[in-house]
Amino acid sequence: MLILSAEKGVFMGIPKASIKKFIKNTYDVTIEDDAAEEIAKMLEARALEIAKYAVKNAEKRQSQKVTAEDIDAYKIKPGN
């Protein structure tokens, strides 16, 4: 399922099959489609949050490129 984000009409999508395979391989249990879809939505929302922070961090450095350091800066942001 593709999710339309509010920003710039960007489509994001983490396949349910990938979530289901990850859960099966990691925990040796199966997961229902709707549960896998909910996990995908949560991951997409978090990825968007991280990306927005990283872009703002890059802009503060007056850069058009997001680096690993921009992502790392999110990890030390209070409340994460």
* Alpha-helical regions (H) of 1-80: 16-27, 33-60, 68-75
pLDDT in tens, 44-74: 899 989 999 999 999 999 999 999 999 999 9
Which pTM was predicted?
0.72
Q: What is the dihedral of CA 77, 18, 22, 33, to 10 degrees?
A: 100
Task: Please tell me the distance from the alpha carbon of residue 3 to that of residue 62, in angstroms, as a whole number.
Answer: 30
Pick the CATH number of 3-75 from 3.20.20.70, 1.10.20.10, 2.130.10.10, 3.30.720.110: 1.10.20.10
The domain limits of the chain are: 3-75
pLDDT of amino acid 80: 67
Question: Residue 61: which residues within 8 A CB-CB, separation 6 or more?
Answer: 70
pLDDT in tens, 3-47: 334 454 454 688 999 999 999 999 999 999 999 999 999 998 999
CB 22 within 8 Å of CB 29: no
